[in-house]
Chain A
Amino acid sequence: MSDYLLQQLANGLILGSMYALVAIGFSMIYGIVRLINFAHGDIAMIGAFTALAALMAADLPIIVVVLAVLLVGAAVGLAIEAVAFRPLRGAPQVNGFITSLAVSVLIQNTGILVLTAEPRSVAFPAFLSQPIAGLPITVDLVDVLIVVLAIVLMAALGAIVNRTRLGMAMRATAENLDVARLMGINVNRAIMAAFAIGSALAGMAGLMWGARYGQIDPMMGFLPGLKAFVAAVIGGVGSIPGAMLGGYLLGLAEVLFVGLLPPEYAGFRDAFVFGTLILVLLVLPNGLLGRAAEDRA
C-alpha cells in the first residue's frame, strides 16, 4: 500500500473517531426519546471552548481538561433535556425537532454574542503536536490519542450499556417506556443518563476537533454535527454500534473522496457526504445496523 493511501486511511480514522463520538449521542438520545437533538453538534462546540478556557485560564493538566470537558458536556446535555425535551414528552415528534433546532440556533448565537464569531486558536501543550517518529506517514501524538481515547470511551460506553443495571434500564426504557415503569425503572433517570453520556461524548469530540485543527469558533459544531447525524442514520439511528460504524465509514469515505479524486472535486466533499446518505438509505432504509422502522407516539 502506498504511503499516500496509508496517510489518507489514518486521516479518515481520526476524523471518523470524532464523527463516531458525536453520532453515538444522536443514536442514544433518539433510541430513548425518539427525537433527534439538533443541538447535539453545538455541545461539541461548547466542549471545545471548555477546553480552551481550562487551558488558558488555569493551565490545567490535560487529563483534568478532558474530565472537565466530559462533565460540562454532560451538564449541557442534562440542561437541554430538562428545558427543551422533558416539557415536550408525549407531544408530536415535529415539536421536538423544531425545539431542538431552536436550541441549536440559540447556543450558536449566544456563542457569537459572548465570544464573537472570530475563530480562536487553541494552544494545547506542545508535546501533543510532536510527530510520531519512525512512521512512513505523518501522525502526531494528538492524533494517536484521539483514536485511542475514542476507542476507550466507546468500550466504556459498551460496558455501561450492556453490563450495568443502569444500562439495562436504559435499554428497557428505549424499547418500551411504559413497561419499563412497570418494572420499577425510573425512566426519567434513564433518559437523563442517555442525554448525559451522549452529550459528554460530543463535548469530548469538540475538544479533539480543537486539538487536531487548532481553531475553534461558535459555529464549528453545526456542519460536523450534521455529518455525525448522517453517520448515525447510515449506521441505523438508535443503534449504538451502528453509530460507531457509521462514524468511521463516513470519516474514511470523506477523506478518501478528497484524497483520491482530482483536487478540483475537493470542494464537493460535503455534497459527497450527503450523497452517500441518500445512496445508503435507498438500499437500506433502516441504515446498516438499524431495526425496521417503528413509530411510537
Chain B
Amino acid sequence: MPVPVLEIDAAQVWRGQTHVLHGIDLTVGEGEIVALIGANGAGKTTVLMTISGLLRPRDGAVRYRPHGGDPVDLARLAPEAIVGLGIAHCPEGRQVFASLSVRENLLIGAYLRRDRVAVAADLDRVVARFPILGERARLPAGSLSGGEQMMLAIGRALMSRPRLLLLDEPSLGLAPQIVETIFDILGDINRAGTTLLLVEQNAAMALELAHRAYVMETGRVTLSGAAADLADNPEVRRAYLGAADETMAGR
C-alpha cells in the first residue's frame, strides 16, 4: 500500500447523545481512491465529519500527514484549520451556498488562499472541467439543477487545492447518466494527483471506481480490502450489490 495520508485509529465518535462510531480503523494511502460503503445509518458521514473536524472523537486518533511534514492529530483542530492543511470536504446533499453566485461559491472554496494569481488560474481550470459553471457564473447557485450543483460542490472543493478530497454521496438524487459523468470526473481528479475518500450508497459505482474499500455496519468496519475483491465477495454482493442470494436461489 502507498504511503498513508490519513490514518484513523480506534476512533470513538458521538453525535449528541448517540454513540455512532465504535472504534473505527481506516487508512487512506497517497494517490488512492478509497470507498466507504454501507447501509444508511452505518456511520459513513460521521467518519467524514470526524476527519474534517465538524465532529471530534471522544477517543482514538485521526492522523494526517501533510506534504513532507510530521503527522498532525486532526482531532485537536477546528474545520477552518483542517481545510488549510489540504483536506476538502464535499458534504452530503451538495450544500452549495444557494444565495451566492456560482462564481462566489467557487471563490469561497479558495477562501484561505492568498495567492490571487494561482486562485484565478484554478478558477479557469475548474471552469474548463465544468463548462456549465462558466456559463452560469453570475447566477445564484440555488438556480442550478441537482447535477450542476454537484459539479459546483466538487469545483468548490477543488478550489482549495486539496491533497485529500472527502466526498459524501456524490450520486445522491442524481440521474444515472449524470452519476456516470460525475464518477468519470472523480477518476480524472484522482489521476491528476488528488487522493479521494468516497462515501457512497451506490456500492457498485463506488467499487468500480475505487482501489480499496471499507464496508461499515452500525459504526464498525466489518470488511475491507481491494475494491475488486470486495465486489466479488458473496456477502457484499448480496447485501450491497443487489445480487440474488445464490444459495436461496438454488433451493
Contacts and interface: CB of A to CB of B under 8 A. Distances in A.
Interface of A: 165, 168-169, 171-172, 175-176, 178-179, 181-187
A178 B79 CA distance: 9
Nearest to A189: B80
Given A175-B97, A184-B111, A168 B104 contact: yes
B98 interface: yes
A13 to B, nearest CB: 29
A171 B91 contact: no
Closest 6 CB pairs of A and B: A184-B112, A181-B79, A184-B83, A184-B111, A179-B95, A183-B111
A236 to B, nearest CB: 13
Contact residue range for chain B? 20 to 34
A192 to B, nearest CB: 14
A178 B104 CA distance: 17
Given A182-B52, A182-B79, A186-B80, A172 B112 contact: no
Given A182-B83, A184-B80, A168 B100 contact: yes
B169 to A, nearest CB: 15
B34 interface: no
Given A182-B91, A183-B111, A175 B100 contact: yes
Nearest to B153: A179
A46 B95 CA distance: 40
A175 B100 CA distance: 9
B79 A171 contact: no
B239 interface: no
A184 B160 contact: yes
B84 interface: yes
B79 to A, nearest CB: 4
Interface string B157-172: 0001000000000000
Contacts of B99: 171, 175
Given A183-B111, A184-B111, 12 more contacts: A171-B99, A176-B97, A178-B79, A181-B53, A181-B78, A181-B80, A182-B89, A182-B91, A184-B83, A184-B112, A184-B160, A187-B80
B107 interface: yes
30 contacts: A165-B111, A168-B100, A168-B107, A168-B108, A169-B111, A172-B97, A172-B100, A172-B108, A175-B97, A175-B98, A175-B100, A176-B95, A176-B97, A179-B91, A179-B97, A181-B54, A181-B79, A182-B54, A182-B79, A182-B83, A182-B88, A182-B89, A182-B91, A183-B80, A183-B83, A183-B109, A183-B111, A183-B160, A184-B84, A186-B80
A183 B160 CA distance: 8
A181 B82 CA distance: 10
A184 B111 CA distance: 6
A36 B107 CA distance: 30
B5 to A, nearest CB: 18
A175 B108 CA distance: 13
B108 A183 contact: yes
A31 to B, nearest CB: 10
Nearest to B94: A179
Nearest to A171: B100
B6 to A, nearest CB: 16
Contacts of B109: 183
Interface in B63-90: 78-80, 83-84, 88-89
A238 to B, nearest CB: 10
Contacts of A178: 54, 79, 91
A184 B112 CA distance: 6
